[in-house]
Structure 1
Amino acid sequence: MDKKTIIFNCGWELFNSKGFKDTNISDIAKMAGIAVGTFYNYYSSKEKLFFEIYMKENEKLKKHIIESLDMNQDPVVLVRQLVEQNISAMNSNTILKEWYNRDLFRELEQHYKEIKSGDDPIHSLYTELFKKWRSEGKIRDDVNDELLPAFFESLAYIDTHKEDIGLHHFPQLIQYLAEFIMKGLTDRQK
């Protein structure tokens, strides 16, 4: 393995076991068998390494969730399960839980916005599911195809304002909002 991979793996292990705050560069360097100065040849800060690790962990989570869902079930149930699995994983994974760390999440959100690409697995999933549900007549006809993804993009916007809402309310709020959105989109009586 090259040094960057070793640093990444050691960082992952320490962030996973100790959390962001209690992990420092000297611990990572020691575990990697390198000098602290060598760390800086690959990462400009502990935060940069953590952000890279976070993004990989988040991508892995999203792929796992997508693989675990039955795409043929009721849209409301499917989205509820997707959101519940995401929140559960965020709360049980030491690295992903940092999304709720008041001292870190603003920087993490900014980093996420800067490098987030259009090939986000969850966004792609919603896009494909909306097409499928539209063809099966499960989505209201009065909501156009361009507006459909905006409903879930609005949840991401709310996510970046979780501190304003209250971190203690946030996970449950997202669950309810996703359910309400899906119930509204699948209400054929409109």
Structure 2
Amino acid sequence: MPKFSEKELIAVKKILHQKGKELFIEYGLKKTSIDDIVQACDIAKGSFYKFFSSKEELYFDILKSEEEDYLKIYNSIIDSKENGADLISTLIKNLWLFHSSNAFLQLFYERNEVQNLIRKIPQEEIQHYTEAQRQKFINSVGNLQTDGRIKSIKPEIIEGLVRGALLLTLQKRRIGEHLFEDVMNYIIEFIGIGLEAKETTYENGELLI
């Protein structure tokens, strides 16, 4: 088994991420082999196994790294001073733009790569990770509601609204590519307005505007 210094460990893992990501984007998880990866990285196969036990494990590690970048954008917006409609609209728009420009994440959903991942990564581990990420979002939504920055409805519903808006990217062709950007902008605007913290008045069970 090859021996690496601390600096070499960082460098080799970085190139595995970089070249692995390129190959996964081009060919997908199923059609990419470990041989393809080590050849692209110009390293021995034993060096690969120093870091990962399978190509699926490398893929999952890249996925988590990409979603960490995704969360940085989310956290920076949540930590801003925006309120109500502006806050939610900015959040969804920036996450949508990030998702749209990230080929790895886009193809993960389009190709349903999770089905290939579970060949080597336990489904429970994937679910545990995704649920942990979802729970972080839900908790921060709860904090925003406590601060009075957005409407106090079930945080899980808000998480579902945001996730649903982002997943519409997968329906771009069905919606119509020439219409899609305008459709998304209106959806983002309407969700933001709908979640703005303001008093709602009812009379005889009817909503008063």
TM-score, normalisation: structure 2: 0.62
The answer to whether the 8 Å contact 1:17/1:94 transfers is no
Task: Say if 2:33 and 2:55, in contact at 8 Å, map to a contact too.
Answer: yes
SS in 2 for 1:167: helix
CA separation of 1:177 and 1:87: change in aligned 2, threshold 3 A: closer
Q: What whole-Å deviation, never above 9, does each CA across 1:68-95 have from its counterpart, x for those lacking one? A: 5663223111111111111111121232
- Within 5 A, what are the aligned runs for 1:129-168? 129-133=144-148, 139=151, 143=153, 147=154, 149-155=155-161, 158=164, 167-168=171-172
Identity, % of aligned pairs? 20
Give 1:50 shift.
1.3
DSSP-derived class of the 1:95 partner: helix
Q: Does 2:106 align with 1:97? A: yes
Task: Tell me how large the CA RMSD over aligned residues is.
Answer: 4.0
Call closer, same or farther: CA 1:41–1:51 in 2, change over 3 Å: same
The aligned residue for residue 10 of structure 1 is 15
One of 128, 140, 143 as aligned partner of 1:114: 128
Runs of 5+ unmatched residues, structure 2: 1-5, 202-209
Q: Compared with structure 1, are the counterparts of its residues 58 and 8 closer, same or farther at alpha carbon in structure 2 (3 Å cutoff)? A: same
Residue of structure 2 in register with 1:20 after alignment: 25
Contact kept, 8 Å, 1:99 with 1:105, in 2: the verdict is yes
Amino acid at match of 1:131: T
Give the match's secondary structure for 2:171: coil
Aligned residues between the structures: 179
Q: Is the 8 A contact 1:15 1:95 kept in 2?
A: no
Contact 1:139 1:186 in 2 (8 A): yes
**Is 1:78 aligned with 2:83?**
no
In 2, Cα distance between the equivalents of 1:182 and 1:73?
13
Tell me whether 123-132 or 50-59 shows the greater mean CA deviation.
Answer: 123-132
Q: Does 1:57 align with 2:66?
A: yes
Cα separation, partners in 2 of 1:179 and 1:151, compared to 1, 3 Å = farther
Give the drift of 1:159: 7.8
Cα deviation for residue 64 of structure 1 reads: 3.0
Q: Which runs of 5 or more structure 1 residues have no equivalent in the other structure?
A: none
SS in 1 for 2:103: coil
The equivalent of 2:3 in structure 1 is none
Whether contact under 8 Å (1:7, 1:28) holds in the other structure is no
Does structure 1 residue 183 correspond to structure 2 residue 194? yes
TM-score by length of 1: 0.67
The alpha-carbon deviation at position 17 of structure 1 amounts to 4.0
- TM-superposed deviation, 1:96: 2.4
Give the stretch that moved more between structures: 170-179 or 37-46: 170-179
Equivalent residue for 2:205? none
> For the residues of structure 2 that align with 1:189 and 1:99, how far apart are their CA atoms?
40
How far residue 29 of structure 1 moved from its aligned partner, in angstroms, is 1.7
